[in-house]
Amino acid sequence: MIDLHTHSTVSDGHGSPAQVMREAAAAGVDTVALTDHDQIIGWDEAAAEAAQVGVSLVRGAEISTLTDGVSVHLLGYLFRPAESALLEFLEGTREARLNRARKMADLLSRDFPVDWELVQAQAGEGTTLGRPHLADALVAAGVVASRDEAFATILNPSNKYYVRHAAPATALAVRAVIEAGGVPVLAHPFAVQRGRTLDEAAIERLHAVGLMGLEAYHRDHTPQQVEQLRGIARRLGLLVTGSSDYHGTGKPNRLGEHYTSPEVLAEIADRGALPILRP
């Protein structure tokens, strides 16, 4: 079982990188990608534990990007970690997310018993801050019962507490992943419940600058959307991946609930600059 999209406490997952590796092994996942939002500091801890528990590790990240105002998540796999353009993107986005979280915390503090300190207490050193951490602060303060409730109500983009953050253009991020020797794959391209999504023409333009795959098998897609994405991938010659987008206890997603074929994994391994770490 190959699961190419998971999160740890390095971004908005609820388990440490090592814990995610242990849980992957326990769930019968033999190859797992750690793809924290805009951050790669979890790679080493994950690698050490993956070797211990006997799972193969694909090192990656989920990069926040924007196309015409649409928030687009780009998975990058097996890229060289020291490549400057890509690292600058990740660092810039983390900084923008930090400022945005502080602004949202200030807005929330006017109406709820949460403040910036409480939000910071929900995240570790170097963690990419997102709305999930604001949600955790609201849960800690007893304002809502769960992350889910926070997202459905207070943290919804239509609400006055929502603030946007800057991110690189998707096409530039695709180029940066390729220049760093990595494999760029669009995460959950048609997940409409997260907001506006790209259309087929936009995916075609990203393909023209080097996009290599579409994450079709994902819980946020209907069977019709999966078929549509498979059709686009077939037409453009893109890889089709699947994943759980695991966030630990932060989301209902279960490890291995959607997965990627061994043939596609072999293709990703072939194209990536870094090896898959095998136990």
Give the footprint of Zn ion on this chain (CB under 5 A). 62, 245
Do 242 and 255 form a contact (C-beta atoms < 8 A)?
A: no
Region of 68 (left: φ > 0; alpha: ψ -120 to 50; beta: rest) is left
Nearest approach in angstroms of CB 175 to ligand AMP is: 22
Which one of 42, 60, 76, 130 is in contact with ligand AMP (CB under 6 A)?
130
Site map 176..205 versus Fe ion, x via CB under 5 A: -----------x------------------
Kindly state the tokens that stand for 64: 């926040």
Residue choice 15, 42, 60, 132 for contact with ligand AMP (CB under 6 A): 132
Give whichever of 138 and 178 is closer to ligand AMP, judged by the CB atom.
Answer: 138
DSSP-derived secondary structure for 205-262: HHHHTT--EEEEE-TTS-HHHHHHHHHHHHHHT-EEEE---BBTBTSS--TTSS---H
- DSSP code at position 88: H
- Give which of Zn ion, ligand AMP, Fe ion, none residue 131 binds (C-beta under 5 to 8 Å, depending on kind): ligand AMP
Q: Which of 151/190 has CB closer to ligand AMP?
A: 151
3 counts as binding Fe ion under rule CB under 5 A: no
Beta carbon nearer to ligand AMP, 131 or 207: 131
Cα atoms in the Cβ-side hemisphere of radius 13 Å centred on 81: 13
Judged by CB under 6 A, the stretch of 15-23, 127-135, 171-179, 206-214 that binds ligand AMP is 127-135
Look at residue 168 and give its three-state secondary structure: coil
For residues 12 and 132, is the Cβ–Cβ distance under 8 A?
A: yes
Q: Confirm or reject binding of residue 151 to ligand AMP (CB under 6 A).
A: yes
CA distances, 171 to each of 10, 61, 133, 233, 273 (Å) = 25, 16, 28, 18, 20
Contact 135, 144 (CB under 8 A): yes
Question: Is 38 a residue that touches ligand AMP (CB under 6 A)?
Answer: no
Q: Is 188 in the site for ligand AMP (CB under 6 A)?
A: no
Residue 42 contacts ligand AMP per CB under 6 A: no
Q: Which is nearer to ligand AMP, 45 or 245 (CB)?
A: 245
- Contact residues toward ligand AMP (CB under 6 A) are 12, 37, 130-132, 147-148, 151, 247, 250-251
